[in-house]
Amino acid sequence: MSDPSREDEWAAWMRAAIAGDAGAYRLFLQAVTPHLRAMARRRGALFGGSASDAEDVVQEVLLAIHLKRGSWDPSRPIGPWISVIVRNKMIDALRRRGRHVDVPIEDVIDTLEAEAVPDGLEQRDVERLLSRLKEQQQDIVRSISVDGSSVRDTARRLSMTEGAVRVALHRALKALAALYRSDTE
Amino acid sequence: MKTDDLITALAQDAPVRWRLGRAVAAAMAGGAAIAAVIFFAGIGVRPDVMVAVTTVRYLFKFVVTLALAVTATGLILHLARPGVPLGVWRWALLAAPVLLAVSVVLEMVAMPMSTWGTRWIGTNAPWCLSLIPLMALGPLALLLLALRQGAPRHPGRAGAVAGLVASGIAATFYAAHCLDDSPFFVATWYTLATGIVMLIGTLAGRRWLRW
């Protein structure tokens, strides 16, 4: 059985996110991640994958959720949407790592949560793929993610407008997803 | 990069510019406009249209082409939305072929067999096979662009259904031009033209709709 209060909470955050609320969106992504982590570890463990491998899959799935969030119809429950996105992406992500598997659709909302990997275990896939983006895109992604700079500060440092930084960030994330797709093909 | 850092970057890209439903609606409107420009600039309504609109066969062509456009649109919106059951839309796509099949049977009953050949071959077949795909290209391209906001499980299949939508739009315009109204003609040549567009849609979908 699905947890209705959690589902309502996730849906409310996502609705705010679609309208541009970065804070709500962060809460949503942070709430979803431990569930993805548990699912990815369970799948990965079947093939002897490490927690770090699973975290690579988590990041790839998060990117897919992000880029496909416009396909959620806010008048519908968010649970089935996210479960199908995660299942489809997880099949792709595991297949690309050489695991031919059929992943059943699991209720993401009701999956037990798993703790983050300990510090020091940086994720390799995203770093490797990031290094293949244009230099300016890399700079912007690193500045906003790893350094935690705001869009405004990043724009000032690079003498760009905030709008241009936002567009560049969006393009970089799309390019990253495309690299995941074409990786090892 | 830690997952938390990635989330920080994603959160800064929160707003959605093109929601899927709106993107598809805009693509349909834009695609129909492109097809209309090609139609009115280079093709045009048939000269005897005032007489034609009083005949069942002429009007029935629009019933079929619009049925195709509407049912394929309903299906594509569901195919591109994860977690939404296809429901009745899976079967709704049969509406246009069933309508066509029934009309073919009625035509066989109503018309002497000696006229079947000329009704089937018609006068415009090569134009039908080229103008429908031509007018469908604009709508198809815009639809595929819109569907990149979606997340279809089977990109090729979604591209094929987008091809059906585009064919429905293009064939509606073409039907206003074409002098051949027999269901024999429509069932053969419109279907072939639609098949061409579906094939293009499948190939383009496999390439552009993966995610």
- Cβ contact A88–B82 (<8 Å): yes
Give the least confident one: A47-61, B62-76, B77-91, B162-176: A47-61
- Identify each DSSP E strand in chain B by its residue range: none
pLDDT reading at B129 higher than 90: yes
Distance CA B154, CA B201 (A): 12
A101: left (phi over 0), alpha (psi -120 to 50) or beta: beta
Residue B6 included in any domain: no
Tally: H helices and E strands in chain A: 8, 0
Check CB contact under 8 Å for A83 and B19. no
Crossing angle of helices B3-11 and A135-144, in 10° steps, is 100
Q: What is the pLDDT of residues B134-188, one digit of tens each?
A: 999 999 999 999 999 999 999 999 999 999 999 999 999 999 999 999 999 999 9
Q: What angle do CA A159, A161, A165 make, to 5 degrees?
A: 95
Question: pLDDT tier at A118 (50, 70, 90 boundaries)?
Answer: low
The answer to whether residue B10 is domain-embedded is no
CA–CA min distance B203, chain A (Å): 17
Residues in CB range of B98: below 8 A, 6 or more apart: none
- Contact with chain B for residue A146, Cβ under 8 A: yes
Residues whose CB is less than 8 angstroms from the CB of residue B59 and which lie 6 or more positions away in sequence, other chains included: B53
Say which residue the tokens 């093709």 belong to. B43
- Domain residues for the domain of B169 are 19-208
More confident residue, A120 or B33: B33
Query: Can you give the residue ranges of every domain in chain A?
Result: 1-120, 123-185
Tokens of B56: 């069942």
> What's the pLDDT tens digit per position in B94-110?
999 999 999 999 999 99
What is the Cα–Cα distance from B112 to B120, expressed in whole angstroms?
13
Are A71 and B82 in contact (CB < 8 Å)? yes
| Structural contact between residues B204 and B147, judged by C-beta atoms closer than 8 angstroms | no
Quick one: pLDDT at residue A119? 54
**Residue A143 CA, distance from chain mean position:** 18
The tokens for B26 are 């805009």
Query: What does the pLDDT average to over A53-78?
Result: 92
Q: How far apart are CA B150 and CA B145, in angstroms?
A: 10
Euclidean distance between CA atoms B147 and B165, whole angstroms: 12
pLDDT digits (tens, 9 = 90+) for B48-69: 999 999 999 999 999 999 999 9
Domain count for chain B, please give it.
Answer: 1
**CB < 8 Å to A21, chain B:** 14
**What pLDDT band is residue B75 in, cutting at 50, 70 and 90?**
very high
Query: Does pLDDT of B25 surpass 50?
Result: yes
**Band of the pLDDT at A1, cuts 50, 70, 90?**
very low
Query: Is residue A94 within 8 Å of residue A103, measured between CB atoms?
Result: yes
CB contact under 8 A, B10 and A81: no
Rounded to an integer, the average pLDDT of B33-53 is: 94
Quick one: pLDDT at residue A47? Answer: 67
Minimal CA–CA distance to B72: which of B89, B88, B86?
A: B89
Residue type, B44: G
Answer yes or no: is B60 within a domain: yes
Which strand (E) or helix (H) includes residue A50?
none
- Given 3-state DSSP classes, what are the helix, strand and coil percentages for chain B, each rounded to the nearest 5? 75, 0, 25
For B17, list phi and psi in degrees, rounded to 5. Answer: -80, -45
Within 8 A of A115 by CB-CB distance, chain B residues are none
> Is the pLDDT reported for residue B195 higher than 90?
yes
Q: ipTM of this model?
A: 0.89
**What is this structure's pTM?**
0.90
CATH no. for A123-185:
1.10.10.10
Asked, for residue B71, whether it belongs to a domain, the answer is yes
